Structure 1
């Protein structure tokens, strides 16, 4: 533990809580829509930053770093390739998504398939986002345990409290603006660290020569199916991530939504490329450590100057706080809009929806901590959560946007098949060393197509604009 690291981390957390307090006292939160969409008033730089750092959380700097540390730089690039490819698809569909946006993904599905599909989708989304929130808590606990005398579990509890306070106080206002400052901290810290760590290794030649033999191969020793099993969950989640759709809905207009997506695409390369290089350099400098700690150990073990190491560790916490708060906010919106508001009818005024969202954030926090105790690593937890969402929700969402023949029965079949197969595969211990997406995605697609072709399609409704009066 270094005093410099502790001071930087403490200052960062205090600053984030200060932003949250400002928005709590600003009077901008007049109801549930402001809590979720920040009044659709976010400027473009803030939009780009919040989209970027919402996506690259502990799953990047801990789970993704673990993968690159274990399997090498080329396999690491394949793992992260789902991000820019997924963003490209979002870029092509950004205007359509902004035009068809709702408060939540299940609400979007209801416009096409009815209330039954919305209810099932809300349950699936909440389960997946609980897992993603838990992964942020666990990852944050790792970082805090490196910087402070706290244990990893105590650090997890501390991070859960900070993220919960940040989310409850200002909703997307506080989440988005803390994202903006965190993005600057994260990107600068990663970029500056790469040449310093490569110098510590002995230069690019020594770096490559020092990698384990299998890490210098394209697949890192994985079979093609195993590598695909790591690529697909990230790609599929991004295609229909409720967080991304809600961010696009928070844009001022369709043009801003598309421009922000393009900015996120460019920014993503400044995150995952340095993460892969730093994690694989850690494999040369510190063979045999826990892969989850690859980049964090570079910062804590003296391979970087104390101030820069502190910034990297604070950046790791920034990843956790920004992404965790986004998933908590998004999961709470499912409870507030897909369950409470949908069934409460006229009683669900804006103030009540705001209260329900805040109470739901507390519930997500408690369940997220509990779920984090079940999975031993962040990588396992993120793969499970990504697959639940990507295999079950994404095919149905894409059918709303691109396939008019999909039916309600087909959508329900896909949701059930994708979720059940993912959970069953996990319980069975991932036979053959394959991630669940390899079987869950085909199961969901076959169910969607086969059942839709065997049933009658309703006339698809044209969603009203996101800012149209209810």
Structure 2
């Protein structure tokens, strides 16, 4: 597989670079580079939205989670689908109608400059970790598929992602997302069919293990993931960036709804692959391989190559979106510059920082993503939701609103990174475990209190 995969990967990456080169001539102004001209059609937005949401966590991470805890691992993705549907029903049209360029820009429009700054800082800092998480997963796939644990090869592939994003901006991201999504769908569906048709001797046992809750995943996990994970899909910067590049409000609304529905099907596909591994493969047979990596090792060679490209495409399609959005936010919302050159510099710097973080080996994909989400979701989701719902209807007390962001974010940060320290000073473990939920509740209270009665 090594040589064939390397050749196929090279062709794939050359295609992505080619798109970046062609689009570099079309993205000389800030609007085209950072928001893809704000004129994307329904089909384009749906495909790029799905490609953005189907990343390393939604494939490699979820399959491994299902292999560990069983079918309830599906809730990560189902709550993503719920978040997209709720976004469509509640806020998609309102957000697009503001004509904001980024999520912090939306905060500026609905609250003020101070809100823009604090939301920008949360996103840029947190999203370096998310990009690093995607790079970590990418390294795992490249190492397995090529049989070479080469940091040079890994860095080259990561650099290519940075380069085509650097050259074509958001417009290239939208186009490459379409190609990457096709690889993802073909690879996962073909893999599912092979496992359940050609290796489906134990399908009855798999069916008997389909359950929504079990000893490894209880009601408290359900509640926590609904808010922490569902919240990111409902009002996360990368998800909402697809709203902001839509050609109009109706396109934004329809794209979120269609993506949410389609995402349920994707959730079933990934979960059933993970469950097949859990039921059919003893842990000792897998060694250090993850669920999807093990599957790649047992399927026929053509399918293994397709699966390798499938997973790599899933990761690249999320990485480039995170990278261009975080870079645009850094330049536009923090430095207040609508400058393509500066955004390109930011793409290079943030991409390099994420790569260094990934190469340091600190954390797996779900650890890095959950850490970032646990800060963003408690601090930002409810305050921003309140500001959107109140826009042009009610005025907000900026001090109370920002306090909600800070208190929620600090709770999420403390619960994720300082749990042991808090336990050592006598704080009950149950409070620490639920600090993200507590933070969300406090941010909701502060943001509701910020609404002025006139």
TM-score normalised per structure 1: 0.86
Aligned to 2:435: 439
Contact 1:392-1:441 at 8 Å conserved across structures? no
Aligned to 2:267: 272
Aligned to 1:84: 81
Q: Decide which of 95, 98, 108 is 2:93's aligned counterpart.
A: 95
Q: Decide which of 295, 310, 335 is 1:340's aligned counterpart.
A: 335
SS at match of 1:423: helix
Aligned to 1:361: 347
Cα gap change, 1:277 to 1:149, in 2 (>3 Å):
same
Cα gap change, 1:436 to 1:96, in 2 (>3 Å):
farther
Cα gap change, 1:201 to 1:46, in 2 (>3 Å):
same
- The answer as to 2:364 corresponding to 1:377 is yes
CA distance in 2, matches of 1:122, 1:167: 20
Q: 1:225-253, CA deviations, whole angstroms, 9 ceiling, x for partnerless residues?
A: 23433443220111111122221121111
Cα gap change, 1:451 to 1:168, in 2 (>3 Å):
closer
CA distance in 2, matches of 1:40, 1:177: 14
CA distance in 1, matches of 2:7, 2:385: 46
Deviates more, 1:221-230 or 1:250-259: 221-230
Task: Within 5 Å, give how 1:377-396 maps onto structure 2.
Answer: 377-396=364-383
CA distance in 2, matches of 1:320, 1:290: 23
CA distance in 2, matches of 1:152, 1:435: 43
Cα gap change, 1:436 to 1:266, in 2 (>3 Å):
farther
Unaligned runs of 5+ in 1: 342-347, 460-470
| Cα-Cα RMSD | 2.6
- The answer as to 2:317 corresponding to 1:330 is no
Q: 1:373-403, CA deviations, whole angstroms, 9 ceiling, x for partnerless residues?
A: 3632111111111222211111111011224
Superposed displacement of residue 294, structure 1: 0.9
Cα gap change, 1:326 to 1:290, in 2 (>3 Å):
farther
Q: 1:295-339, CA deviations, whole angstroms, 9 ceiling, x for partnerless residues?
A: 12211x12x221121111101111111100000011001111112
Contact 2:411-2:438 at 8 Å conserved across structures? no
Superposed displacement of residue 369, structure 1: 2.1
Q: Decide which of 404, 409, 412 is 1:419's aligned counterpart.
A: 409
SS at match of 1:102: coil
Q: 1:265-318, CA deviations, whole angstroms, 9 ceiling, x for partnerless residues?
A: 23213322111111121223433247872112211x12x221121111101111
- The answer as to 2:233 corresponding to 1:234 is no
Q: Decide which of 293, 297, 311 is 1:296's aligned counterpart.
A: 293
CA distance in 2, matches of 1:98, 1:392: 22
CA distance in 1, matches of 2:448, 2:175: 43
CA distance in 1, matches of 2:429, 2:11: 43
Superposed displacement of residue 201, structure 1: 4.5
Superposed displacement of residue 90, structure 1: 1.5
Superposed displacement of residue 88, structure 1: 0.9
CA distance in 2, matches of 1:275, 1:220: 21
- The answer as to 2:209 corresponding to 1:225 is no
Cα gap change, 1:150 to 1:81, in 2 (>3 Å):
same
Deviates more, 1:419-428 or 1:312-321: 419-428
SS at match of 1:417: helix
Contact 1:88-1:265 at 8 Å conserved across structures? yes
CA distance in 2, matches of 1:276, 1:202: 18
CA distance in 1, matches of 2:131, 2:432: 20
Cα gap change, 1:427 to 1:18, in 2 (>3 Å):
same
Aligned to 2:17: 17
Cα gap change, 1:58 to 1:194, in 2 (>3 Å):
same
Superposed displacement of residue 113, structure 1: 2.4
Contact 1:87-1:238 at 8 Å conserved across structures? yes
Superposed displacement of residue 447, structure 1: 4.2
Cα gap change, 1:129 to 1:223, in 2 (>3 Å):
same
Superposed displacement of residue 3, structure 1: 3.5
CA distance in 1, matches of 2:254, 2:443: 35
Unaligned runs of 5+ in 2: none
Aligned to 1:243: 238
CA distance in 2, matches of 1:255, 1:448: 28
SS at match of 2:335: helix
Deviates more, 1:353-362 or 1:97-106: 97-106
Superposed displacement of residue 450, structure 1: 4.1
Task: Within 5 Å, give how 1:122-271 maps onto structure 2.
Answer: 122-151=120-149, 153-154=151-152, 156-198=154-196, 199-208=198-207, 218-271=213-266
CA distance in 1, matches of 2:322, 2:453: 33
CA distance in 1, matches of 2:377, 2:18: 35
SS at match of 2:290: helix
Q: 1:417-438, CA deviations, whole angstroms, 9 ceiling, x for partnerless residues?
A: 1222222222234779889783
